[in-house]
Structure 1
Amino acid sequence: MQTFTFLLGFLLISTLVSAQIKPEIIPVASGEIKIYPVLHATMAIQYKEQVIYIDPYGGKKAFNGIESPTFILITDIHGDHMNLETLREMEAQNMQIIAPQAVIEKLSPDFTQLTSLGNGKELNMGQINIEAIPMYNLPEDSTSRHPKGRGNGYVLTIAGKRIYISGDTEDIDEMRSLQNIDIAFVCMNLPYTMTIEAAADAVLAFNPKIVYPFHYRGKNGYSDVENFKRLINVSSDRTEVRLIDWYPTL
């Protein structure tokens, strides 16, 4: 009986460990930045004692093995970005949340530590600087799922590295004009954001050192991120495309 109990306990621990997310490690002079690809557009970034959760989605279990957040960044009001169920499971009502005003209005008054950050604004959070970047669909008309000014992409500067998180956007001028981006997370799914061809063309315009396709599950399945990588590789020897699985079985 004791042997059975030990084996059962070992299997449970092994299952929990295997479910933990392996981070991408970005070396910096002062140590390392850890980036955890959680699910779809959701990630966590850790630098020293600071941990950021970005668009928490997938339930509390999706963050198994990741330290609790110092603060939370949200890009837009849609449920795969501003996910109330996940935020409540995490007991985020008293956590620091930074988001565009449209998100703040939906979270208030249940969530108490809210900071509004609009397109073009900056905020310093300890060792991390946050720039809010426009994200929107084209054309800019009444049919847009993501109108200009409602949501944010973000550029985070951490230990000298500039990390771009696109939010739900298309191939917009504000993305093309980005400069000195070390790491980029770029969306590509229809009909919500853009095609892989449009995403590749935008990436080639601003030439990040590393790009990760993310947010690539669309209405008809997954976008062809392998083809996205090929499009970048045939046109650029500067940008490295890194493919990781954003859709684990939780």
Structure 2
Amino acid sequence: MAKMLYQGHGSYRFTLEDGTLVYVDPFAGEGYDVPASLVLVTHEHFDHNQVDRMPHAPGCRVLRAADFQPAPGEYRTFDVCGVHIQPVQACNENHPVDECVGLVLSFDGLRFYASGDTSTTDDMRSGKLAAMALDYAVFPGDGFYNMSVEEASACAALVGARHSMPVHLVPMSGEPTPETLFDEGKAQAFHAEGRIILHPGQELDL
């Protein structure tokens, strides 16, 4: 069974059934001791792109937003380490659409939407994401660099994943602290069908 470790803020890692380690937006928390097979970066803000926080296994791939979107509006999919990765839109006034991506990851019979930093996108409104029949999705809700938890809840309804989780709940302007990794009040204010609230350091069987 695949597992997700929520490290805090917008950082998490997956352990696939075959032991492959996939890190998404590395920056905060603990759990960087296991060598990465694949590191994914949704955009180049400092709180998402610390790709050297963990050791890299031989042949480790690091894929960044520019790899998934080499030109504005041109999206490329990848199949790496048993993971199919399809980029989708991610954007708001602080995150230009041509510099950011969300990622739909397919592995071990699951589909996981890694939203990156975003607000409501055309891919949500159009039903594109809902049509993917997602199993899990994460949504940012700091209300400063990203949308509020109220808008994140509305996005979760548009996306319609079987389970949705709030992440990136505190605006980050420096080094992470225990207080900036998570906000319980905002997490509880996030509403979605099949809501899951993970706290930093918690691991979820997917």
Distance change >3 Å, CA 51–CA 218, structure 1 → 2? same
Show structure 2 runs of 5+ residues with no match: 173-179
1:63 aligns with 2:42: no
SS of the equivalent of 2:89 reads strand
User: Corresponding residue for 1:140?
Assistant: none
Contact kept in structure 2, 1:188 and 1:194, CA below 8 Å: yes
Structure 1 runs of 4+ with >6 Å offset: none
1:170 aligns with 2:125: no
Q: By how many angstroms is 1:72 displaced? A: 0.4
Distance change >3 Å, CA 162–CA 206, structure 1 → 2? same
Q: TM-score, normalised by structure 2?
A: 0.80
1:126 aligns with 2:81: yes
The CA RMSD measured in Å over matched residues stands at: 2.4
Q: By how many angstroms is 1:155 displaced? A: 0.2
Contact kept in structure 2, 1:35 and 1:44, CA below 8 Å: yes
Show structure 1 runs of 5+ residues with no match: 1-31, 102-115, 138-143, 233-238
1:95-138 CA distances to partner (integer Å, 9 max, x unpaired)? Answer: 4200122xxxxxxxxxxxxxx2216321111321001111100x
Q: How does 1:187-202 map to 2 (within 5 A)?
A: 187-202=140-155
SS of the equivalent of 1:241 reads coil
Q: By how many angstroms is 1:171 displaced? A: 1.3
Q: How does 1:75-94 map to 2 (within 5 A)?
A: 75-83=42-50, 87-91=51-55
Q: TM-score, normalised by structure 1?
A: 0.66
User: Corresponding residue for 1:246?
Assistant: 200
* Greater share of residues in helix: 1
Q: How does 1:1-250 map to 2 (within 5 A)?
A: 32-47=1-16, 48-58=18-28, 62-63=30-31, 67-83=34-50, 87-91=51-55, 95-101=60-66, 116-118=67-69, 120-137=75-92, 144-176=93-125, 177=127, 178=129, 179=131, 180-218=133-171, 222=183, 224-229=186-191, 232=192, 239-246=193-200
1:136-158 CA distances to partner (integer Å, 9 max, x unpaired)? Answer: 00xxxxxx210111011100011
**Counterpart of 2:24 in structure 1: which amino acid?**
I
Aligned pairs, number: 183
Structure with max Cα Rg: 1
Contact kept in structure 1, 2:118 and 2:140, CA below 8 Å: yes
